[in-house]
Amino acid sequence: MHKILFVCMGNICRSPSAQGVFEHLIKQKGLAEKFTIDSAGTHRYHVGSPPDERSILFAHKRGIDLSKQRARNISAQDFTYFDLIVAMDDENYRNLLTICGKNQQEKLLKMKQFLPQSQYTEIPDPYYGGQQGFDLVLDLLEDACLGLLDFVLQQQISKKLM
């Protein structure tokens, strides 16, 4: 079982979208039973709230349902439970570094690591922008999630060979 947590600031735009995109991807590939996927925020702004309605709308247009998700704050237990914790941007990555233990830092990744040949150095926050920002975020996440899935499956193969 692979356990992945996606993290952004408020857990209402990027990280729930990443969760939805990744869940959709692994379901399409018949791998859903091999993964536990969740999302969280580094700030408590929106705890208990559903994703931003624009995130829900634009994901729905792509056949991805975010409506059942609720924002939550990352917890100390997340660093123990999850195998990988994937930050949407550098600021949230730095926030995660300050709250996780030294022996858990190897679990932290940046989503931009999985963006193939992109001009973007992080997943931009669409919250204060126009609606086109939500489409862009989903485009980037679809590409990055494919790269992340390949990374996880390659790690699995490498561990079996050892």
* Each residue's pLDDT tens digit, 12-50: 999 999 999 999 999 999 999 999 999 999 999 999 999
Domains of the chain by residue range: 2-161
**Tokens 């704050």 appear where?**
73
Asked if 122 contacts 97 with a C-beta cutoff of 8 angstroms, the reply is no
Confidence of residue 160 (pLDDT cuts 50, 70, 90): low
Asked if 37 contacts 4 with a C-beta cutoff of 8 angstroms, the reply is yes
Asked if 61 contacts 23 with a C-beta cutoff of 8 angstroms, the reply is no
Confidence of residue 162 (pLDDT cuts 50, 70, 90): very low
CATH number for the domain formed by residue range(s) 2-161:
3.40.50.2300
Asked if 18 contacts 88 with a C-beta cutoff of 8 angstroms, the reply is yes
The Cα–Cα gap between 115 and 120 comes to 8
Asked if 41 contacts 9 with a C-beta cutoff of 8 angstroms, the reply is yes
SS3 31: coil
The model's pTM: 0.95
* Each residue's pLDDT tens digit, 77-113: 999 999 999 999 999 999 999 999 888 999 999 999 9
In the chain, pLDDT over 70 holds for what percent of residues? Answer: 96
Which residues are known catalytic residues?
Answer: 8, 14, 125
Across the chain, mean pLDDT equals 94
